[in-house]
Amino acid sequence: MSGELRGRVALVTGGTGGIGTAICTRLADLGARVATTYRNEEKARTWQAELKEQGYDMAIYACDVGDYDACVKLINQVAEDLGPVDVLVNNAGITRDTTLKKMTPQHWREVINANLDSVFNMTQPLLADMAQRGWGRVINISSINGQKGQFGQANYASAKAGIHGFTMSAAQEVARKGVTVNTVSPGYIATDMVMAVPEDVREKIIAQIPVGRLGRPEEIAHVVAFLASEHAGFITGANLAANGGQHMH
Residue 115 pLDDT > 50? yes
- The answer to whether the predicted template modeling score (pTM) of the entire model surpasses 0.95 is yes
Q: Which of 38, 61, 156, 188 is catalytic?
A: 156
| Confidence class for position 150, pLDDT limits 50, 70, 90 | very high
187-204 confidence digits (pLDDT tens)? 999 998 788 888 998 999
38-88 confidence digits (pLDDT tens)? 988 999 999 999 999 999 999 999 999 999 999 999 999 999 999 999 999
What structural domains and CATH numbers belong to the chain? 9-241 (3.40.50.720)
- Give yes or no: 68 in active site: no
d(CA 20, CA 87): 14
